[in-house]
Structure 1
Amino acid sequence: MSKKRSTPDRNLRIADQIQRDLSAIIMREIKDPRIGMVTIQSVSLTPDYAHAKIYFTTLTGDPEKTRVALNEAAGFLRSLLFKLLHIHTVPTLHFVHDKSIEQAIEMSKLIDAANADRAKDDE
């Protein structure tokens, strides 16, 4: 007896839907002053859809305080997601500050500095 396989990209489609829905919910429903302007960068789901890591960046405010506030509101956000998503298991949400943007900016600054030094050496 063969086991029924889910669609290969189902995990990605659900993660994308969670990302879109959470962005809208956080903007409309969360009134916590510790949460400034938050951008959901990506969502990573476990294969059984039990847990989701939500990677976010902030435009304003302290990222650590924002992470704490979002994790405190995770149960409320999950209940609102349950109403929007049409899946059997809505994952437990875990918010993680995404530092890739800051790292990319630092890397770009280092490259620019190296190129400026090289230009001076060539002259």
Structure 2
Amino acid sequence: MNLRSNRVAEQMKKELSDIIGRKLKDPRIGFVTVTDVQVTGDLQQAKVYITVLGNDEQKQDSLAGLEKAKGFIRSEVGQRIRLRKTPELIFEFDESIDYGNRIETLIKKLHEDEH
């Protein structure tokens, strides 16, 4: 990823957090945190990594709500960030946090088993 796409990704992360947190009124969308945004070098696509507080059903509902609002979110981003073409948004769950928590739990369990 080049410097420009890095800057665009950082800016998008900030704006997306604001848009999702304040502008969306879909009741399906729960407490969503934008953890990372990765923009392709040609600025055509942006992968938006999110975490959602709640159970699996709430996570899926939030993702469905974001998918439905994708056009609105994209146009909001387009108004806030001056680009010739606003990148297409792809929402994905950030698995790294769950992965980290799982490892932490396993390490704790190992230590408990030792004592």
Alignment of 1:25-104 (within 5 A): 25-60=19-54, 62-104=58-100
Q: Secondary structure of 2:34's partner?
A: strand
Letter of the structure 2 residue corresponding to residue 94 of structure 1: I
TM-score (ref. length: structure 2): 0.91
Runs of at least 4 residues off by over 4 Å: none
Q: Distance in 2 between matches of 1:39 and 1:91?
A: 20
Describe the superposition over 1:32-53 as per-residue Cα deviations: whole angstroms up to 9, x where unpaired: 0110111000001111111111
Query: Which structure has the larger Rg?
Result: 1
Letter of the structure 1 residue corresponding to residue 81 of structure 2: L
TM-score (ref. length: structure 1): 0.85
Q: Secondary structure of 2:97's partner?
A: helix
Q: Distance in 1 between matches of 2:62 and 2:95?
A: 14
Checking the alignment, whether the CA contact within 8 Å between 1:50 and 1:89 is kept in structure 2 is yes
- How many residues in Structure 1 have an aligned counterpart in Structure 2? 112
- 16-25 or 95-104: which moved more? 95-104
Structure 1 counterpart of 2:16, from 19, 22, 33: 22
Q: Distance in 1 between matches of 2:93 and 2:62?
A: 9
State, as a whole percentage, how many aligned pairs show the same letter.
36
CA RMSD of aligned residues (A): 1.2
Larger relative contact order (CA 8 Å, sep ≥ 6): 2
Structure 1 segments unaligned to the other structure (5+ residues) = 1-7
Structure 2 segments unaligned to the other structure (5+ residues) = none
Checking the alignment, whether the CA contact within 8 Å between 2:53 and 2:59 is kept in structure 1 is no
Letter of the structure 1 residue corresponding to residue 109 of structure 2: A
Higher helix residue share? 2
